Amino acid sequence: MTSALRCLGSASAFWFVLPCLLVLAFTSVYPVGFGLAVSFTNWNWGNQFEFVGWANYANLLADAEFWSVMRNTVVFAASATAIEIALGFYLAVQVDRLAIRTDLIRAVIMLPLMVSGIVVALMSKVMFDPFLGIINHLIGVFGLGPSAFYGAAETAMASIVAVDVWWQTAFVFIIMLAGLRSLPAEPVEAARVEGASEFTIFWFIKLPMLRSLLITVVIIRAIDTLKVFDIVFGTTGGGPALATEVVQTFVYRTAYSYQQIGKAMATMILFSLLILVISLALQALQRRGEDAA
């Protein structure tokens, strides 16, 4: 006990962080440790609990379904992140140029962010309904559609990406607007006096100063979209066929419908490694930019 105290610093500091350490140990160290162990077994929630070595991992890597689920997840995350970043950042640049108070505008645009994923999913089911939905009616006015949206393999993934864009673009917008507002005024004013165009000012002065923040937002959106669950679970449930099955819905099904806990945990471990690698790569990109600057 005393050595533990010394290791943590002063005794009083130990008591300050103890509750946090206990809760983190219980809610994350234990499940990750136990989950890692389970990934090497054939556990079925019940009595079947045998060590199977790397079998779960080997089976997964040889399983076409696993790879198609991985591909769906990455396709979803990459498209949703790219569109949200582009749209949210562009909107922030436009709002930043408005000559009026923008508090109310920001509050209204933030609204989707307050809505829970499952509610967003159900709202979209009402709007995307192939027969009675308002969206098919609206695009019909422009001579488009009708589309089956969630009902067809070709359009289901694009529909879910659209829903995530509606839901989360405001996050990018809020952060980037705060970033734009915090930029120093002098370089921009100086460039304006020199006669630089708005585009030149944005591209050569503002963007380099916002680069690090932008990559942080990309990292947050990338992690968040890779972990997507609610809006898939609430709309297509992974279908039609496997067209929109993503890692977390796949794991939920594997664990709770098929009782293959070993396989589910092996999937989670591989997927967590993927998330780690992607965030580390993006962070390396961020750091390289800072060194160069």
Partner 1 sequence: MTARTALQFHDGRGQGLSRAWAYAFTGAMILFSLFPVYWVLTVSLKSRRDGLASPPLWIFDPTTANYLKLWSHETFKYTFLNSVIITAIGVALSLAIAIPTAYAIVRMKIRGRNLVGVWLILAYMLPEFLFVIPMFSLYQWTGLYDTHVGLALMYQVHVLPLSIWLLSSFFREINPAIDEAARIEGASNWQILTRIYVPCTLPGMAATAVLNAIWIWNELAIALGLTFSRAETVTLGITSFRGYAALDWGAMTAASIIAIVPMLLFAVAAQKHIVKGLSLGAVKG
Q: Is the peptide bond before 240 cis (omega within 30 degrees of 0)?
A: yes
Give residue 279's Cα distance to chain centre: 11
Interface of this chain with partner 1, residues 23 to 52, rule: CB under 8 A: 23-24, 26-32, 34-35, 38, 45
C-alpha dihedral (84, 87, 90, 95), degrees to nearest 10: -100
Q: Does 101 bind partner 1 (CB under 8 A)?
A: no
Based on CB atoms, which residue is closest to partner 1, 70 or 261? Answer: 261
> Do 219 and 84 form a contact (C-beta atoms < 8 A)?
no
Task: Say how far apart CA 154 and CA 215 lie, in whole Å.
Answer: 31
What backbone phi and psi angles, to 5 degrees, belong to 79? Answer: -70, -45
Choice from 52, 59, 106, 259 touching partner 1 (CB under 8 A)? 106
**Which range, of 52-60, 78-86, 112-120, 200-208, touches partner 1 by CB under 8 A?**
112-120
Choice from 69, 77, 80, 175 touching partner 1 (CB under 8 A)? 175
Q: Between 180 and 199, how does the x/- string for binding to partner 1 read (CB under 8 A)?
A: ---------x--xx----x-
Choice from 55, 166, 183, 211 touching partner 1 (CB under 8 A)? 166
**Which range, of 50-58, 62-70, 76-84, 124-132, touches partner 1 by CB under 8 A?**
124-132
Question: What minimum distance in Å lies between the beta carbon of 58 and partner 1?
Answer: 20
Give residue 176's Cα distance to chain centre: 17
| Interface size with partner 1, residues (CB under 8 A) | 98
Q: Which two tokens stand for residue 47?
A: 């009595």
> Do 269 and 34 form a contact (C-beta atoms < 8 A)?
no
Question: What minimum distance in Å lies between the beta carbon of 128 and partner 1?
Answer: 10
Neighbours of 45 (CB within 10 A): 11
Choice from 1, 2, 3, 20 touching partner 1 (CB under 8 A)? 20
Based on CB atoms, which residue is closest to partner 1, 61 or 134? Answer: 134
181, with CB counted inside 10 A (0-12, 13-18, 19+), is exposed
Q: Does 227 bind partner 1 (CB under 8 A)?
A: yes
Q: Does 114 bind partner 1 (CB under 8 A)?
A: yes
Interface of this chain with partner 1, residues 239 to 268, rule: CB under 8 A: 247-248, 251-252, 255-256, 261, 264-265, 268
Q: Find the DSSP H helices in the chain.
A: 2-8, 11-24, 30-38, 55-61, 64-97, 103-110, 117-127, 134-141, 153-181, 185-193, 198-201, 207-226, 230-234, 247-256, 261-292
- 237 Rama sector, left if φ>0, alpha if ψ -120 to 50, beta otherwise: left
Based on CB atoms, which residue is closest to partner 1, 78 or 253? Answer: 253
Q: Does 10 bind partner 1 (CB under 8 A)?
A: yes
Q: Does 200 bind partner 1 (CB under 8 A)?
A: no
Q: Does 289 bind partner 1 (CB under 8 A)?
A: no
Q: 223, 227, 261, 230: which is closest to 247 by C-alpha? A: 227
Question: What minimum distance in Å lies between the beta carbon of 97 and partner 1?
Answer: 5
Choice from 85, 230, 243, 245 touching partner 1 (CB under 8 A)? 230
Choice from 58, 61, 115, 281 touching partner 1 (CB under 8 A)? 115
